[in-house]
A and B are shown apart, each in its own frame.
Chain A
Amino acid sequence: MHDLDIGTQLQQQVLQAVETGGALRIVGGDSKAFYGGHCAAEAWLNTADHCGVIDYQPSEQVITARAGSRIADIAELLAGHRQMLGFEPPDYTGQATLGGTLACGFSGPRRPFAGSARDFMLGCKIINGRGQILNFGGRVMKNVAGFDVSRLMVGALGTTGVLLEASLRVLPVPETDLTLACACTEQQALSRMQQLSGQPWPLSGSAYDGEYLRIRLSGAETALTAVAKQLAGDADPAGDRFWHDLREQRIGFFQLPGTLWRISVAPATAPLDLVGRGLLDWGGALRWLNTDMPAAAIHAAAAAHGGHAICYRGEDKSDWLRLDSDLLGLQQNIRLAFDPLSVFNPGRLFS
């Protein structure tokens, strides 16, 4: 893996933007340009070269790396010690960087069972909108000193600052994985997912692709053999491939043209009354929908179940994310607390 510290150059660039009243578009591997609202800044702040692992000791189960480090490189390093990023972020054919992944807050199929990107976040170094380099959190498992700014950075799309470094907890790779698959309807899949999640099975994935419900089990081989005997479904020899492709958003569903929505609801929510093609992940708590229905209808359907919808990929991003007015006001104040001149990614999260 490359090892380069361009933190001061990045800081200089920010300071210059602050001075000249400019705005910056923070870019890592540029693998997720499709995500978020329209960013009004032209000038790039390129973090991809700011890369390398700063600290990694397998017995601490913590890795600290610069934001430009590729997720794929980190995964490879960890795998060498039988460890992994527990939230299974997509690496977008090697392009995704650590910084971009955290800024978008993307987590893969293991999320409901192991935790999300923010759950694994322990600490970070950032540049705020005043050009100051600041450290929050730390490199240890438990830390409640000060507000949890590190976790606030996850999913903030760079609008609270430029991530320079992050420390993440990592997990041991399970001894074995086993995938069971069975053909069923969406309704059947949902009730099965729900039933399983209330029981102590060693689950690490639970998804329905419109045809098959697949569940992934992780643990000691003896345990998985015993569990498999008690659960319905056939062992799926292509299971590992499926989970990998789901994580990378490469399975057929994600190749469909059109607008892709990501709807987050309570897992036991009945099938949503929306037209389009769907895919269920996270044991039913994450519902992907490919549809040309109007944004308003989708937001309304999600909100009716106490959840929310995000237009993940699509032409029209004018209504991609909704916040109620009290929350929007507060979030705008928080942004200004970090970036008073709105230097970073204006428009990317909210205008």
Chain B
Amino acid sequence: MPLSAAFVQQCRVLLGNRQVISDPESLRVYECDALSAYRQVPDLVVLPDSVAQVRALLKLCNQHSIPVVARGAGTGLSGGALPVSGGIVLGLSKMNRILAVDPLNCSATLQPGVRNLAISAAAKPYGLYYAPDPSSQIACSIGGNVAENAGGVHCLKYGLTVHNVLQIKLVTLEGRLLTLGGSGLDMPGYDLLALAIGSEGLLGVVVEITVRLLPLQPQTQVLLAAFASVEQAGAAVAALIADGLTPAGLELMDNAAIRATEAFVHAGYPVNAAAILLCELDGMPEQVAADSQRAIGILQHNAAVEIRTASDEPERRRFWAGRKSAFPAVGRIASDYYCMDGTIPRKQLACVLQRISAMAEACGLSVVNVFHAGDGNLHPLILYDARIRGDFEKAEVLGGQILELCVAVGGTITGEHGVGHEKLAQMCVQFQAAELAQFHRLKRAFDPFGLLNPGKAIPTLHRCAELGHLHVHHGQLPHPELERF
């Protein structure tokens, strides 16, 4: 249903014409997030520049029962910011000021549109930084990070967004401004801060964030280890962790990823290796020396065929260059790719990677693997060609199978990208009806009429029933041979 002229007029009165977008050409900019396979041109986009405007807008939407989709930088990979028909997109890009950096309390207070990387840049003069570093950090917003509970290369040691936020201010649909968390390390009553983080814009609009800053570490070392098989690389990951090391980052790239990035940035990776591990260690110089030695021993013991140690900062950057450019590098070898995001117990790494490649082969697609091995967070990139009819649908089916495999081995369908629009079907696999119903009741405590990002993140039971045929094949769940957790 199109928005009423009266409603649009009231938005213009609240924000002024320049912050209300309604011409078809400009609206297209907002039709999708970074998962561009799903598109929906919004009916209206509003760009408030203050908390007061956000409050007034939400109140207005509540009065008129208009759905609201919040949007940060639109780098999401699960269609979370996908517009919904008959609703508005509430973009937070104009609220992009760093409100305060407090070196005494090691914190920074930010508007939601501040870019992730800008936080560390502002903290640097004080010897501090913001730890969660999604690969999209030059573009993504801290509000979007909070909404997705974003992770990054360094979250194995330093935690996800939820571990690094002290307080947020959330506007409810009624226009109330709630402060969740506080200046200290906890809040009285329920931990609504933890609940709001990762809630994908379903509970409220985040209008201010106070993050914890950490001291920059004096030394960082990176090891690059090559393996003759992915199994060995997977076993080495488990061995490093079991030994008690907590690397700042522990990333795995398979042969396809090594070749693609090598052709792109010439990082000097061993192109014949079946897999490489990048292991970053940081801390006091003596600690780094001790940990590096330990890690090298473990890697050797686990059949690494080659181990390189970055001898200086340029070499360290070169080691990372390949990993960091992996997505664009894959973009060069395939016209399109579809990035998955399951997490599995580390011990299942080798087995799951093998199965993924077998499943891909069965449907005639290729998969490139480059991911956060340290915390078992897979990012299989499924290559496809959007110009070929039905190719994305094939990729979509394979993606779904991969996520269901993750659940079957005791993992989850999303480690950091969120459910959004994309993984609704797999939510029906991961959760039982009673659990989904509990999620819906929880949402209603914040949003009784279901106007905030409706249809995302938590599927309706009706939808799961409809999709049921996807998952129960001849009365069997996928991978019946595997034990259920």
Check if A198 sits within 8 Å of B182, measured CB to CB: no
The reply to whether the CB of A275 lies closer than 8 angstroms to some CB of chain B is no
Complex interface: chain B residues within 8 A of A264 (CB):
182, 184-187
User: Chain A residue with minimal CB distance to B149?
Assistant: A144
Complex interface: chain B residues within 8 A of A148 (CB):
149, 162, 194-195, 197-199
Check if B435 sits within 8 Å of A146, measured CB to CB: yes
Bound-state CA distance A305–B102 (Å) is: 14
Which among A1-9, A92-100, A249-257, A329-337 touches the partner chain? A329-337
Complex interface: chain A residues within 8 A of B279 (CB):
none
CB proximity to A under 8 Å, residues B385-438: 410-419, 423, 427, 430-432, 434-435, 438
Q: Count residues on chain A whose CB falls below 8 Å from chain B CBs.
A: 85
Instruction: State how many angstroms separate the Cβ of B427 from the closest Cβ of chain A.
Output: 6
Check if B245 sits within 8 Å of A172, measured CB to CB: yes
Complex interface: chain A residues within 8 A of B418 (CB):
144
Which among B136-144, B152-160, B332-340 touches the partner chain? B152-160
Bound-state CA distance A118–B350 (Å) is: 30
User: Chain A residue with minimal CB distance to B237?
Assistant: A59
Which among A26-34, A218-226, A239-247 touches the partner chain? A218-226
CB proximity to B under 8 Å, residues A190-227: 194, 197-202, 219-220, 222-223, 225-227
Instruction: State how many angstroms separate the Cβ of A223 from the closest Cβ of chain B.
Output: 4
Partner of B347, one of A59, A194, A200: A59
The reply to whether the CB of A317 lies closer than 8 angstroms to some CB of chain B is no
Complex interface: chain B residues within 8 A of A219 (CB):
283-284, 287
Check if B413 sits within 8 Å of A61, measured CB to CB: no
Complex interface: chain B residues within 8 A of A154 (CB):
191, 194
User: Chain A residue with minimal CB distance to B431?
Assistant: A146
Instruction: State how many angstroms separate the Cβ of A169 from the closest Cβ of chain B.
Output: 10
Partner of B195, one of A151, A226, A322: A151
Check if A286 sits within 8 Å of B185, measured CB to CB: yes
Complex interface: chain A residues within 8 A of B423 (CB):
145
Check if A331 sits within 8 Å of B442, measured CB to CB: no
Bound-state CA distance A119–B197 (Å) is: 12
The reply to whether the CB of B95 lies closer than 8 angstroms to some CB of chain A is no
Partner of A149, one of B183, B376, B377, B438: B438
Bound-state CA distance A82–B148 (Å) is: 33
Indicate the size class of the contact surface on chain B. Answer: 35 or more
Check if A140 sits within 8 Å of B376, measured CB to CB: yes
Bound-state CA distance A135–B430 (Å) is: 10
Which of B195, B244, B419 is most buried by chain A, counting CB atoms within 10 A of its CB?
Answer: B244
Instruction: State how many angstroms separate the Cβ of B482 from the closest Cβ of chain A.
Output: 15
User: Chain B residue with minimal CB distance to A263?
Assistant: B184
The reply to whether the CB of B362 lies closer than 8 angstroms to some CB of chain A is no
User: Chain B residue with minimal CB distance to A334?
Assistant: B445
Check if B377 sits within 8 Å of A142, measured CB to CB: yes
Which among B34-42, B55-63, B215-223, B264-272 touches the partner chain? B215-223
Bound-state CA distance A112–B104 (Å) is: 15
Bound-state CA distance A175–B215 (Å) is: 22
Instruction: State how many angstroms separate the Cβ of B446 from the closest Cβ of chain A.
Output: 7
Which among A177-185, A290-298, A306-314 touches the partner chain? A306-314
The reply to whether the CB of A344 lies closer than 8 angstroms to some CB of chain B is no
The reply to whether the CB of A261 lies closer than 8 angstroms to some CB of chain B is no
Check if A307 sits within 8 Å of B183, measured CB to CB: yes
Partner of B187, one of A135, A267, A308: A308
28 contacts between A and B (CB under 8 A): A57-B345, A105-B191, A134-B435, A138-B343, A138-B410, A139-B485, A140-B345, A141-B415, A142-B412, A143-B343, A145-B427, A145-B431, A149-B195, A154-B191, A155-B189, A160-B190, A172-B245, A175-B290, A200-B283, A202-B287, A219-B283, A219-B284, A264-B182, A264-B184, A267-B184, A268-B102, A308-B188, A331-B190
A323-B188, A349-B189 known, 12 other contacts, Cβ within 8 Å: A119-B162, A142-B372, A142-B376, A155-B190, A175-B290, A199-B215, A264-B187, A266-B183, A269-B183, A333-B445, A334-B192, A350-B189
